[in-house]
Chain A
Amino acid sequence: MTTLQYAAASLRHYWRTNLAAAAGVAVAVATLGGALLVGSSVRASLSELAMARLGGVHAVVTASALFTESLATRLGTASSSASAAGTTLAGTTAADAAAPGAVPAPVPVLALDGMVIHEESGRRATGVQVFGVDDRFWRLHGVSHGVTGVNGPSGRTAYMSPALAAEFGAKADDALQLRVQKPSAIPSGVLQGRRDEPGRAVRLTLGRVLTREQAGEFSPSPRQGDARTIFVPLDRLQRDVDLPGLANMVLVGGSLGADATRLRERVRRAVRIEDVGLRVRTVAGTMTAIESGAGYMTDIVAAGVTSAVADASGAATPVLTYLATAIKANGRETPYSLISALPRPVIERELDPDTRTPDARPSSASATASASLSPMASAPPIWLSKWTADDLDARRGDTVTLDYFLWSDEGGLSSASASFALAGVLPMKGLAVDRDLTPEYPGVSTTEAMSDWDPPFPVDLTRVRKKDEDFWREHRTAPKAFLRLEDGQRLWKSRYGQVTSVRTPAVDETVLRTALAAHLPASVADFRVIPVRADAVAAAAGTTDFGEYFTYFSFFVVVASLLLTALFFRLGIEQRSTEIGTLAAFGFTPALVRRIFLLEGAVLTGAGALVGTAGAIGFTAALMAALRTIWIGAVGTTALHLTVTPVPLIAGALGGIVAGLGCVMLTLRSFRRTSVRGLMSGGWMNPQVSAERPRWLLAATVGLVAVAAGLVVAGATGAVPGTAAFFGSGSLLLGAGLCGVALGLGAINRRFLTPGPRALVRLGMRNASARPSRSLLSVALIAGASFLIVAVGAFRQGTEASTDPHSGTGGYSLVAESMQPLMHDPATPAGRDALNLGADAANLDIARFRLRPGDDASCANLYRPTSPRLLGATTAFVAANRFSFSTSLASTDAERANPWQLLNRPVDDPRVVPVIGDATSLAYAFHVAVGDDIVIDGPDGQPLKLRVMAALRDSVLQSELVMSDAQFTRWFPRHEGFRVFLIGERPGAGTPHTADAIATQLEGQLSDFGFDAQSAEDRLASYHRVENTYLSTFQALGGLGLVLGTFGLGTVLLRNVLERRREMALLRATGYQRSHLVRAVVAESACLLGAGLAIGLVCALVAIGPAYAERGEGLPIGATLGLLAAVAASGLVSTLLATRAVGSTALLPSLKHE
């Protein structure tokens, strides 16, 4: 017989024990491999979902402002003309732009946020992605993604995603109303900007519902929730929002889209000045003007344009034109006049020679003027046109006052005045009649009469005289007064710039465009190439490594199954100790014996791993099914499915095999000190229980308790963070408890067994002490699992409505978001009037936030947020000091008192922005701590570091990062106004209303803005639901581990019973009834189970002390106790199985040692 044959025979002979050991390995491998496979399946599912929703798109080209739709064409095809107008910013013609290679038809898209109303049902959906597309969109998906049979839509037809259609119950031909934000080239944050522009309503008919395969769920940014998408004809949408020929997104597929570097170069070469919002005009045949469609030119654009013009013609004249509500002098006023600020020499060149002479006023008046000039000696100069000077009867040296409006997002519209000294009068020619000094302002510059003005600020038309109308008819927007450029900029510069146009003597447009291209990189318009497909793959790696999480969640299942494996291997080897001794007696070396058993172990673990691998697939399928159903709260999508990949399975199998063989090795090692005779006689089975109390054990127990107590004190006094202190303390007590059990098992042996009511209980406990290592193992497993289950249960979040400003809702009752930014402050009467809010709104406390839309950073988003949603907090909100913080970088008393002030802390690096985020998002979505930087792409395409200054504790602000308003407007000036709101009722402001009632009222009054309010409590609860689902998952799998642990306990008991069957037979022979023996076994089980549960429970209660003190009744005590009761019940079932063995033990064979 060879070693192999011997091993094979042994495997066959001891098949029952071997089967159990292999089953243990199989469970461990299934659990471990399954947990890892869940991770790869979730990643694969998310990646597939993102890919499916991207369709044929590899990259997206966007800019901070609108650009011409033709950019897409220029990116992809050659132009037939290379006219001056076709010169790109890179100084090439459009034909050049297409030169690097053929492009698979990039597609222009106008993408907007919208609200859809389904007219049949009256249902409405906010936060809908609206895509203005044409046939090219479907062709792109057709070429790269196999979408066929879809064209259009055309006319007033719209296509819809399945989820949105299902939400409405919509079908083809249903009538829809789409309300979208109307983008404007002119920022709302300047005087001329439209702030009360409601969203545009577009009436549509549903053409068809497109499936995911038909690109119906198209989304350029990954999200796992339902795709709520509507496709409308591009030209229709452009017309309805008054943006003909403009787009804000180009979708690029094929090899060009896949090569971001090449695409960036292509964009750089294809962008024209029109794409960055500039236009070139020839003015009066002698001048060329470069203007921004936004009104103001940003400083970087103005500098580039000035340099370009200087290169092209040698002379650049920056101009700033603003509207004054009145020009006043000598008790007279000229209403509503445009004022241009220019470099002084440019103005003085135009002066009427007559007005150059000083003291034009008669001498008698001159004295008066001199006297009056005295206080104005330092007043800045102003020049009036002849018409204005006549209107005001103004002479040189007169004081001229300008009244004008200013707009600030914080303060709204305000009036201001500035006084000047009249320095001269310009004749009615040249600058004084140059209507082109004023950029085109909708509502003003295109009207035939002043009475037709419709500017975004109040105009009192009764002040407009006939002579004003006559001037308007003849000269339109010609300025009536002129300031030095620096004076104008001092008064009217904004965060959007301080120049409205740059002028130069007439210059060849091609030359000018070439010069502009040389001085204006494409980045000035924030053109960005986003490799959405590559980003989606990276984002699909997820904020949450489900493989890691489920490995943690399955920890106790894995440990329990490995312990069971170890137990079965050990029992199997112990069962064969006589055989081992016999082999040794025959002359087998220990190495040979070890080899035989290792061989058997390898076969068993291999077989177990094989079965376990199949089990892992089944386990994963079950977990994925659970994630799609009962645990959907954690993932929010049903799109997750099983994806079998070899690596996790191999890792799980290897883990199980290594653990199994380790068990064999350890068990064999434990026999090394047993003599051959001892093995053969089974003498090793008689425990050498020491009655002595090991000093080290006592010292360890006392030491652990002392350190735990110290931690509790430290936590209570705040020296150590409470949760960490108490959790650490609980863990230490758990260790102390187990040491105590070890001591207790010894102590049981010192108690004298005498007849009495508790004699059988004590006998059972004595039995538990007979195999202290086994008993301790069982107790440790149960205590550890109980500890974690109870402690984890305490982290379940309950949500209650709270007006406490330091609660998770900040004391607000609603969280709202508008599709269209609100420019007016509802906290002011004027703002409420402008927004048409009722008087009740005065009782509301509304905090406003600017919004840069981006990836949801909350736990509800499984994808990694690469471009997070950003909020800008007003100074009023910062001062209000709402919410509470878990940690912060506060170093001063003021910062500690109000950590929001950290948003305003100066930072040396100009590209570092202080932000505050929710602790959960920081930890699990961004994987950063307070003090760390989150790097995002800045609006200029360069990295921007968001430095985390503080972490909010359990707040409704989990989806975003918050920065100061000043930082927000500095970095994201194009994201105007306020779109996110926290709303509560002012204390004592009349009868309180429910959150629903307030939401309904505000949504009705602000429906034009697409205002959507949600209960803050519900929002917080939705976050809690995700976290609680994770905890449920952990508890469920931990509970499964605990059940396996109790099964292990049952196995230990059964083994103990079987090993003691002769003792039991003897006791029965000497008068013990079966019930006596059963009671002893139950006592033994209860001793171990009770000790485990008690230690775990007590230590967990210490660990959750702070949580209990904070939330008290909010803790899920009932559910946790129920779970522990279930554990106790399963332990008792295991015990009963063991006691059945007592009953079935044959008396005579046992006594005869057969």
Chain B
Amino acid sequence: MLIVSHVSKDYLSPQGSIAILNDTSLAVESGDAAAITGPSGSGKSTLLYIAGGLEPPTTGTVLINNTNPYSLTDDEAARFRGANVGFVFQDHCLLPQCSVIENVLAPTLVDDPARSREYVDRARTLLVEVGLEHRLTHRPAQLSGGEKQRVAIARALIRLPNVLLCDEPTGNLDQRNADMVADLLVSLHRSRAMALVLVTHSESIASRFARRYTITDGRLAGAP
């Protein structure tokens, strides 16, 4: 499970310290899904990256499966993220030189080679689940925006993460593709016992999740 406790984040600027997050806490159990909405610059993405172990908070703690990733060394933190956290970004961040299935397998390249076959099989399964079984060897440049994001989702799930963090996964998509991706995320979450946190500015996307939070001026508000 994911526990974010009393997290604050300040950035230094020429004009002085700017508080992005202010004593914010969040807890998401395995199997739970939460959506966070808020206006641009409210700190929702920052909260997500702090929760995922990508950016250390100024104060406060983060626990993923009872481990504080910021207490680990860089390498340990990287290994920990790879094993426990999946990310989906607004910009899919696919590797252009790799095929669809290779993109899905990318996080596994630094894992135990003995599990290679397992990962390949799982990647194929995931791509079937996201509806791209016919695009395995295609390059990202040959995919539509929605398809790219579905590849990114499959990639995020390849190592069976405990926590899936999605940063505006539909932000670059048209409504139809956005709905498709949102439905896919909900569907995949249901079939897996993982914690899901999704950041979006779209109320309609957020409405698909049972727990919804709003972040304003660095403070989280909404259903606990």
Q: Is A1062 an interface position by the 8 A CB rule?
A: yes
The residues of A that contact B106 with a CB separation of less than 8 Å are 753, 1067, 1070
Query: A1147 CA to B69 CA in the complex, in Å?
Result: 15
Q: Is A1074 an interface position by the 8 A CB rule?
A: yes
Q: Please report which residues of chain B, range 155-171, place their CB below 8 angstroms from some CB of chain A when the two chains form the complex.
A: 155-156, 159, 167
Across the two chains, which residue of chain A brings its CB closest to B46?
A: A1148
Contact assessment for B49 and A1148 in the assembled complex, using a CB-CB cutoff below 8 Å = yes
Query: A760 CA to B167 CA in the complex, in Å?
Result: 27
Contact assessment for A1073 and B97 in the assembled complex, using a CB-CB cutoff below 8 Å = no
What is the size, in residues, of chain A's interface with B at 8 Å between Cβ atoms? Answer: 38
Contact assessment for B110 and A760 in the assembled complex, using a CB-CB cutoff below 8 Å = yes
From A767, A1063, A1071, A1072, B83 is in contact (CB under 8 Å) with: A1071
Q: Is B35 an interface position by the 8 A CB rule?
A: no
Q: Is A880 an interface position by the 8 A CB rule?
A: no
From B45, B95, B119, A1063 is in contact (CB under 8 Å) with: B95
The residues of A that contact B82 with a CB separation of less than 8 Å are 1070-1072
Contact assessment for B81 and A755 in the assembled complex, using a CB-CB cutoff below 8 Å = no
Contact assessment for A689 and B139 in the assembled complex, using a CB-CB cutoff below 8 Å = yes
Q: Please report which residues of chain B, range 79-128, place their CB below 8 angstroms from some CB of chain A when the two chains form the complex.
A: 79-83, 85-87, 89, 91, 93, 95-98, 101-102, 105-113, 115-116, 119-120
From B83, B87, B101, A1066 is in contact (CB under 8 Å) with: B87
Contact assessment for A1067 and B113 in the assembled complex, using a CB-CB cutoff below 8 Å = no
Name the distance in Å between A1146's Cβ and chain B's nearest Cβ.
Answer: 10
Contact assessment for A753 and B78 in the assembled complex, using a CB-CB cutoff below 8 Å = no
Q: A1071-B107, A1076-B110 are in contact. Are A1062 and B91 (CB under 8 A)?
A: yes
Q: Is A534 an interface position by the 8 A CB rule?
A: no
From A689, A753, A1069, A1147, B102 is in contact (CB under 8 Å) with: A753
The residues of B that contact A1074 with a CB separation of less than 8 Å are 74-75, 78
Q: Is B55 an interface position by the 8 A CB rule?
A: yes
Contact assessment for B87 and A753 in the assembled complex, using a CB-CB cutoff below 8 Å = no
The residues of B that contact A749 with a CB separation of less than 8 Å are 97
Q: Please report which residues of chain A, range 271-321, place their CB below 8 angstroms from some CB of chain B when the two chains form the complex.
A: none
Q: Is A345 an interface position by the 8 A CB rule?
A: no
Name the distance in Å between B185's Cβ and chain A's nearest Cβ.
Answer: 17
Query: A1075 CA to B76 CA in the complex, in Å?
Result: 12
The residues of A that contact B112 with a CB separation of less than 8 Å are 755
Q: A755-B112, A1073-B79, A1148-B49 are in contact. Are A767 and B97 (CB under 8 A)?
A: yes
Query: A431 CA to B93 CA in the complex, in Å?
Result: 122
Contact assessment for A1063 and B120 in the assembled complex, using a CB-CB cutoff below 8 Å = no
Contact assessment for A1070 and B107 in the assembled complex, using a CB-CB cutoff below 8 Å = yes
Contact assessment for B113 and A759 in the assembled complex, using a CB-CB cutoff below 8 Å = yes
Contact assessment for A759 and B110 in the assembled complex, using a CB-CB cutoff below 8 Å = yes
Q: Is the interface of B mostly helix, strand, loop or mixed?
A: helix
Query: A1071 CA to B155 CA in the complex, in Å?
Result: 12
Across the two chains, which residue of chain A brings its CB closest to B96?
A: A686
The residues of B that contact A753 with a CB separation of less than 8 Å are 98, 102, 105-106, 109
The residues of B that contact A465 with a CB separation of less than 8 Å are none
From B78, B105, B115, B156, A1068 is in contact (CB under 8 Å) with: B78
Contact assessment for A755 and B55 in the assembled complex, using a CB-CB cutoff below 8 Å = no
Contact assessment for A1072 and B78 in the assembled complex, using a CB-CB cutoff below 8 Å = yes
Contact assessment for A770 and B96 in the assembled complex, using a CB-CB cutoff below 8 Å = yes
Contact assessment for B109 and A759 in the assembled complex, using a CB-CB cutoff below 8 Å = yes
Contact assessment for A1069 and B97 in the assembled complex, using a CB-CB cutoff below 8 Å = no
Across the two chains, which residue of chain B brings its CB closest to A769?
A: B97
Name the distance in Å between B198's Cβ and chain A's nearest Cβ.
Answer: 16
Q: A753-B109, A760-B109 are in contact. Are A687 and B45 (CB under 8 A)?
A: no
The residues of B that contact A752 with a CB separation of less than 8 Å are 101-102
The residues of B that contact A699 with a CB separation of less than 8 Å are none
Contact assessment for B119 and A754 in the assembled complex, using a CB-CB cutoff below 8 Å = yes
- What are 24 A-B pairs at a CB distance below 8 A? A683-B141, A686-B141, A687-B97, A688-B141, A753-B98, A753-B106, A754-B105, A754-B109, A754-B119, A755-B110, A755-B116, A756-B109, A757-B113, A759-B113, A1062-B93, A1067-B107, A1069-B87, A1070-B87, A1071-B82, A1073-B78, A1147-B54, A1148-B54, A1151-B89, A1153-B91
- Chain B interfacial positions (CB closer than 8 Å to A): 45, 49, 52, 54-55, 74-75, 78-83, 85-87, 89, 91, 93, 95-98, 101-102, 105-113, 115-116, 119-120, 139-141, 155-156, 159, 167
Please name 10 further chain A to chain B contacts, defined as beta carbons within 8 Å, in addition to the given A1070-B86, A1074-B78, sorted by A numbering: A686-B141, A749-B97, A752-B101, A755-B105, A756-B113, A1066-B87, A1070-B87, A1070-B107, A1073-B110, A1151-B49
